[in-house]
Amino acid sequence: MITLTHYFILTGILFSIGLVGVMRRTNLLMLFFSTEILLNAINVGFVAVSKYYNDLSGQLFAFFIIAVAASEVAVGLGLLILWYKRNGSVDLNSLQMMKG
Amino acid sequence: MENYLYTALFAPLASSLFVALFAARPKMLFTGIVASLLIAISMIASFVLLIDVNTYGPLHVSMMDWISAGNLEIPFGFVVDEVSVIMMVTVTLVSTIVHIYSIGYMDHDKSFNRFFSYLSAFVFSMMILVMSDNFVGLFIGWEGVGLCSWLLIGFWYHKHSASWAANEAFIMNRIADLGMLMGLFLIYWSVGSFQYDEFFASLKTMDSTLLATIGLFLFIGAMGKSAQFPLHTWLADAMEGPTPVSALIHAATMVTAGVYLVIRCGELYTLIPDVGFAIASLGAFVALFAASMALVNNDLKRIIAYSTLSQLGYMFVAAGLGAYWIALFHLMTHAFFKSLLFLGAGNVMHAMHDELNIKKMGGLYGSMKATAILMSVASVALAGIYPFAGFFSKDKILEVAFNEGAYFLWFALFIGAGLTAFYSFRLVMLVFFGEKEYEKYGIHPHEAQPFVIYALLPLGLLAIVSGFLEHTFEGFVTRLLAQYEIHIEHGTEALLIAATLGIALSGIAFAVYMYRRGGFPKSWEERFCYKLLSNQYYIPKLYELYIMRPFSALANFAWQKIDTKVVDLTVDLIAKMVYSTGEKSRKMQSGNLSDMLRWMVVGMIGLLILAFVYRPMV
Amino acid sequence: MEHILSLLVFFPAMAGLLGFLVAKESIRAYGISVSAIEFFLSIILWIGYDSTNAGYQFVEYYPFISSYGMSYYLGVDGISLFLVILSTFITMIALIALSIEKEIKNLIISVLFLEMTMVGVFVILDVIWFYAFWELSLVPMLYIIGAWGSVNRMYAAIKFFLYTFAGSVLMLVGILYMGFLYHEATGIWSFALPDWYLLQVPFETQLWLFGAFFLAFAIKVPMFPFHTWLPYAHGQAPTIGSIILAAVLLKMGSYGFVRFSLPLFPDASVYFLIPVAVICIIMVIYAAMIAYAQKDMKQVIAYSSISHMGIVVLGTFAMNAEGITGSIFLMLSHGIVSGALFMLVGVIYDRRHTKLMSDFGGLASVMPNFATIYGIMLMASVGLPLSIGFVGEFLSLVGFYRISWVMTLLAGTGIILGAVYMLVLYKKSFFGEVVHAENKTLKDLNAKELTALIPLVALVAILGIYPKPVLSVIDMSVQKMLVLMDQKAVLQETKELLFKANTIGGTN
């Protein structure tokens, strides 16, 4: 039987993968992928909990997150392409203008 | 009579302020004349008051309120009673003569006007000191004379030694003033008033420890002003000032303020004979100690300064032993002959072009007969030879010491009398008689202007005759001061007088004998005793080594080590810590997105842990 | 007369705002006129002041944020009256003597803003507003030191600002807690000082609150060991900055003790009496010694300020009318005397561009008027009787003698050490031969400087000879405050000490 715990474990594993990706990757594109994994990990959690409580709000939230993630990727990819055109690289180490 | 009181008090102030208007201008003769006239007016008013007090008794006025706060009320009040009127007469008389004398003495000085302004200001302060009816008023005068003394010692401020001596005098007096202030505070908190009459009225209700404490504190103040050991070094150094200043301030008036204070508080000191005896002992010690330093000194003015110190010791013996009227009497006669001595010395200095070393003088009698005679008269009076003034007053002090059974004190004073006679005539002999040493230095001495000599004549006269006023004086001042009975048998008394006269005369004779033959051999100067005395018992050196230098070093240490290295550095360290924390944490802001995300994760984990630790307990 | 206090507070600031429109050439005259009008307003205040009434007068009260008990509440009593007059007087004199040419417009406007904050601190009775004025006073001073100071000015300005600011933050906490306590006790919010005066605070709480307020006041005074900002600030500040800083800003700290610490926390004040007195004695002696070691004339006077402020605070903690009245009078006299001394140093600095005593010597013969006025101020500074300096010092020490004679003796060494460093300064700079050729041609005081200095000299003499009109007004309010302290004290020991300190007789 697949219980809520199993879903949480899956969420945790997915989230950790996303988190490691966010921290380790230096390619901006890969960063976006990792962010997507993070968001989807949360989505899985929301849906599972929603099913468990028989409450639709969780699933509703998941849809919202998908929508927000999509728009974020749209804007983000646009900026990324702009940056690539200007600098010829999407490596994070070349992006250090905010150094304090 | 109030008008006379205010005239006596404010004429010197008027003089000082008027002359001050011209202080920065070159010499103007009229400033000196106006100042002398105004001081003379003050003197006449004082004499009128003397007669008035004699006929109608004391006069007490309250001019206006000064300070009031809480329970404290201090008015500007003045009292003219038997004691203060004697002081007023003495002060104004000597001041008038010194003013007139100074017109001649300061003739060539470019700061002639400024000098008279200061000198009159001094007279005003001194009048406040003696006339005030409360302790704080006395303290005004006390500090006022200190200020004028500072101004006048440092009158020739371009001389390093003069301004140094002025500062020394002021600071030493301040040390004593602190003691006096403490005494005043104690009086206030035990009586609730600074008025003399209220204080004396409540003496009986106070316990003796309290009285002794007050007495001691006040005497510390007196020690500073009257230059008693160990605060005596300033007086000799104060001779850097112009000679009229030395005559007026550092011989006749200001330095006797301490004695005046003890006499004024006679009712207090009568109740605490132990403190009185301590004062007398210190006085006797100083009498001998200062006389010994006068023996070997070669500086004309310093010899007289040490002599003043020694005579102040005599006065303190009398005051300490309860013979207040005798102390006051000696104060008065001493003022006359000592100022005469100083003013004569001023004439000599002028004649010798400011040369002070008596070894370089000699034989001046030929060219300055009048001065020589006046100074000899003053010296005889100082030595205490009948019928001169000093005999009456000083001899009485010895009798008092004997009468109290303080034979040790009597013996010290007895030896002191011999020493006094010796050093006075050593000075007279070296200056006026013997070889004309000055010829080697190409100096052509001349007598002072005639009016200067005439101005000195009253002092000369008083030095001779004022002793005969003894009984009138006693009758007058003992209306206020305690009577003092001397119970010595006639035979013993005569013997004592004879002995004192004898030692004084032999001192004179010895001096005359020795210095007619050219004085002591040079080899004496190599001896330890001579060096000890001529270096003033090494006390100034000790003060420099063990007080001034350590103070300087400590001050520098406090500034450069403690203040900048400890206190300020701690403050800066705190600021630097904050700053360096920022500097270090700045590395977190590498600008690299990965790093930021990592920090974000760290923060998130931190928050999760916090949420876990502080989770709501179910 | 109804709104005279508001006028006094805001007139200089409003005039300062208008000053931006005034042409650069006439800004000096404008500044002097504004400060003179302000000074005359404060004199009118004194004339209108009813000297038989010890309470607050010319009170203005408008609710400000009434739900939190904040109000616009002004009033003046004997304690603050003369400090207001001192502020307006010193500002006027300092502006008259002003010799800076650079950016003079900004300078004068800053000074006028500073005047608003100074007057505000002394007349405001709402504590939140008090805090606001207290902190605001730092800003113009920061600007004055930072913009017109000498070489190391940024360091000094920032040190001054951060140090005093950090101290006040704790006071803000104390203020808020005190407001909270008032709310707890009465159910309504109030930050009005007269309301707070009615609140009896438990002893333990008093100790904490006293500490919070103490730090702010102690840094401002400045008390040892929080004094190190002062020498830097004075060393770097332009003359006008030093004058106002020494004459008025330091008084805010000692005023705070009288206005807040003593009446709000009587038991704590008595409890901390001895430690505070020890700090004062350290200040007096230690600062006097450091002053002696200085080579820079201005630093001598800066450290002498610390030494004198020690006696001010000591007098405040004497807990009797003599001492507190004396300490308030000493604030006035120190304001006048130290202001004058800093001005005199400024005079010589303008001529020689140095303040080192070794660069002078023999000035008495070159600049006789300057030397005379300097001498008068010096004697007032060492507390010569019949000068203004004596009255306050004497009363403060008399007052504290009742608490402890040993401590009074130790603090009294200040009068000796004060004479030492001042006379040494005078000897080094004014006496002796003129050794430096540059000094031979120095000009004596000019008309402008004399105009600024002569009123100060006159005050030194007048208030020294007849201080009574000032003393009696102060005394009345102080006695009222002492009664209040006695009523509010929660401990029996405090009441006993207050009684003993104010009674003649008996041994101590």
- Residue A42's φ and ψ, nearest 5 degrees, are -65, -40
| Residue that the structure tokens 């003069």 belong to | B162
| Residue that the structure tokens 């006499």 belong to | B263
CA angle, B229 as apex, B226 and B235 as ends, to 5°? 50
Q: Which of B167, B192, B559 sits opposite C290 (nearest CB)?
A: B559
- Write out residues 19-78 of B within 8 Å (CB-CB) of C: 23-24, 64-72
Q: Give the span between the Cα atoms of B366 and B355, in whole angstroms.
A: 18
Contact yes or no for C381/C418 (Cβ under 8 A) = yes
Instruction: Give the 3-state secondary structure of B273-295.
Output: HHHHHHHHHHHHHHHHHHHHHHH
pLDDT given for residue B493 in this prediction: 86
| Pick from B531, B515, B533: nearest CA to B523 | B531
Residue A92 contacts B where some CB pair is shorter than 8 Å: yes
Contact yes or no for B104/B220 (Cβ under 8 A) = no
Could you tell me if residue C396 is inside a domain?
yes
Q: Give the span between the Cα atoms of B593 and A22, in whole angstroms.
A: 9
The answer to whether the Cβ–Cβ distance between C508 and B72 falls below 8 Å is no
pLDDT given for residue C7 in this prediction: 92
Closest CA in chain A for residue B584: A100
**CATH number of the domain where residue A52 is located:** 1.10.287.3510
Mean model confidence pLDDT for chain C? 92
DSSP, residue by residue, B585-605:
HGGG----HHHHHHHHHHHHH
The answer to whether the Cβ–Cβ distance between A22 and B592 falls below 8 Å is no
Could you tell me if residue A67 is inside a domain?
yes
The answer to whether the Cβ–Cβ distance between A23 and B589 falls below 8 Å is no
Residue A88 contacts B where some CB pair is shorter than 8 Å: no
Residue A93 contacts B where some CB pair is shorter than 8 Å: yes
pLDDT given for residue C508 in this prediction: 46
Residues of A in contact with B608 (CB under 8 A): none
Closest CA in chain A for residue B596: A23
Indicate whether B97 pLDDT > 60: yes
- pLDDT tens digits, one per residue of A43-56: 999 999 999 999 99
Q: Give the span between the Cα atoms of B12 and B124, in whole angstroms.
A: 5
Mean model confidence pLDDT for chain B? 90
Could you tell me if residue A94 is inside a domain?
no
Select from C294, C369, C398 the residue whose CB has the most chain B CBs within 10 Å, as the one to mutate to test that interface: C398
Residues of B in contact with C467 (CB under 8 A): 66-67
Helix (H, G, I), strand (E, B) or coil at C56: coil
Select from B587, B594, B596 the residue whose CB has the most chain A CBs within 10 Å, as the one to mutate to test that interface: B594
Q: Give the span between the Cα atoms of B519 and B182, in whole angstroms.
A: 49
Query: What is the separation, in whole angstroms, between the first and last Cα of chain C?
Result: 48
Q: What percent of chain B has pLDDT over 90?
A: 54
Query: What is the separation, in whole angstroms, between the first and last Cα of chain B?
Result: 98
The complex scores an ipTM of 0.93
CB-based burial label for B587 (10 Å; 0-12, 13-18, 19+): exposed
Q: How many beta-carbon pairs under 8 angstroms link A with B?
A: 35
Could you tell me if residue C67 is inside a domain?
no
Domain around C457: 272-508
Could you tell me if residue C31 is inside a domain?
no
| Pick from A93, A89, A7, A74: nearest CA to A45 | A7
Token pair belonging to C95: 């502006």
Instruction: Compute CA B124 distance to the chain's CA centroid, rounded to the nearest angstrom.
Output: 16
pLDDT given for residue B26 in this prediction: 86
CA angle, B10 as apex, B7 and B15 as ends, to 5°? 110
Strands B59-69 and C70-76: unpaired
Token pair belonging to A48: 């599972």
- Residue C58's φ and ψ, nearest 5 degrees, are 55, 40
Closest CA in chain C for residue B140: C385
Could you tell me if residue A97 is inside a domain?
no
A24/chain B closest Cα distance in angstroms: 7
Count of other CB atoms within 10 angstroms of residue B466: 23
- Write out residues 538-597 of B within 8 Å (CB-CB) of C: 551-552, 554-556, 558-560, 562-563, 567-568, 570-571, 575
In Å, how far are B39, C386, C433 from B77, measured between CA atoms? Answer: 21, 14, 43
Could you tell me if residue C194 is inside a domain?
no
Q: Give the span between the Cα atoms of C118 and C139, in whole angstroms.
A: 12
Residues of C in contact with B192 (CB under 8 A): 504-505
Indicate whether B3 pLDDT > 70: yes
DSSP, residue by residue, B290-317:
HHHHHHH--BHHHHHHHHHHHHHHHHHH
- Write out residues 206-225 of B within 8 Å (CB-CB) of C: 207, 210
B255/chain C closest Cα distance in angstroms: 19
Residues 6+ apart with CB under 8 A from B335: B90, B94, B251, B252, B253, B256
Longest dimension (CA), chain A: 53
Q: Which of B71, B189, B552 sits opposite C401 (nearest CB)?
A: B189
Q: Give the span between the Cα atoms of C113 and B114, in whole angstroms.
A: 45
| Pick from B457, B436, B454: nearest CA to B378 | B457
- Residue C64's φ and ψ, nearest 5 degrees, are -115, -65
Mean pLDDT (whole number) for B329-352: 91
Instruction: Give the 3-state secondary structure of C80-117.
Output: HHHHHHHHHHHHHHHHHHCCCCCCHHHHHHHHHHHHHH
B572/chain A closest Cα distance in angstroms: 25
> Does A touch C (3+ CB pairs < 8 Å)?
no
Residue B154 contacts C where some CB pair is shorter than 8 Å: yes
Instruction: Give the 3-state secondary structure of B165-204.
Output: HHHHHHHHHHHHHHHHHHHHHHHHHHHCCCEHHHHHHCHH
| Domains held by chain C: number | 1
What is the signed CA dihedral for B371, B372, B378, B383, rounded to 10 degrees? 160
Q: Give the span between the Cα atoms of C358 and C436, in whole angstroms.
A: 9
Q: Which of B588, B591, B598 sits opposite A96 (nearest CB)?
A: B591
Least confident of B301-305, B332-336, B402-406, C416-420: B402-406
- pLDDT tens digits, one per residue of B156-191: 998 899 999 999 999 999 999 999 999 999 999 999
The answer to whether the Cβ–Cβ distance between A95 and B592 falls below 8 Å is yes
In Å, how far are A31, B443, C3 from B434, measured between CA atoms? Answer: 117, 16, 88
The answer to whether the Cβ–Cβ distance between B167 and C424 falls below 8 Å is yes
- pLDDT tens digits, one per residue of B62-77: 988 899 888 899 999 9
pLDDT given for residue C110 in this prediction: 94
Q: Give the span between the Cα atoms of C64 and B289, in whole angstroms.
A: 77
Indicate whether B315 pLDDT > 80: yes
| Domains held by chain A: number | 1
In Å, how far are B88, B166, B297, B337, B555 from B543, measured between CA atoms? Answer: 36, 16, 20, 32, 16
Could you tell me if residue C195 is inside a domain?
no
Q: What confidence category does residue B283 fall into, taking pLDDT thresholds of 50, 70 and 90? A: very high
| Residue that the structure tokens 């006085």 belong to | B283
Mean pLDDT (whole number) for B566-577: 90
Q: Which of B67, B68, B175 sits opposite C416 (nearest CB)?
A: B175
CA angle, B402 as apex, B400 and B408 as ends, to 5°? 120
Rounded to 10 deg, the angle between the C405-430 and C368-381 helix axes is: 170
Residues of B in contact with A93 (CB under 8 A): 592, 594
Helix (H, G, I), strand (E, B) or coil at A96: coil
Q: Give the span between the Cα atoms of C156 and C158, in whole angstroms.
A: 6
Count of other CB atoms within 10 angstroms of residue B468: 12
A76/chain B closest Cα distance in angstroms: 14
Residues 6+ apart with CB under 8 A from A80: A28, A29, A32, A90
Residue A3 contacts B where some CB pair is shorter than 8 Å: no
Q: Give the span between the Cα atoms of B296 and B278, in whole angstroms.
A: 28
For chain C, 508 residues long, the average pLDDT of each consecutive 10-residue run is 89 92 90 95 93 90 88 92 95 92 91 94 94 94 92 91 90 93 91 91 93 93 90 92 93 94 93 94 93 92 94 94 94 94 93 89 89 93 92 93 92 93 92 87 90 94 92 93 92 91 73
DSSP, residue by residue, C422-442:
HHHHHHHHHSS---SGGGGG-
pLDDT given for residue B515 in this prediction: 84
Mean pLDDT (whole number) for B572-594: 86
Domain around A49: 4-89
Instruction: Compute CA B396 distance to the chain's CA centroid, rounded to the nearest angstrom.
Output: 24
pLDDT given for residue C441 in this prediction: 86
Residues 6+ apart with CB under 8 A from C187: none
Contact yes or no for C419/C64 (Cβ under 8 A) = no
Q: Which of C362, C386, C466 sits opposite B140 (nearest CB)?
A: C386
Residue C152 contacts B where some CB pair is shorter than 8 Å: no
Strands B59-69 and B72-80: antiparallel
Token pair belonging to B433: 């008689």
pLDDT given for residue C507 in this prediction: 52
| Pick from B224, B216, B179, B223: nearest CA to C409 | B179
C53/chain B closest Cα distance in angstroms: 16
Contact yes or no for B103/B36 (Cβ under 8 A) = yes
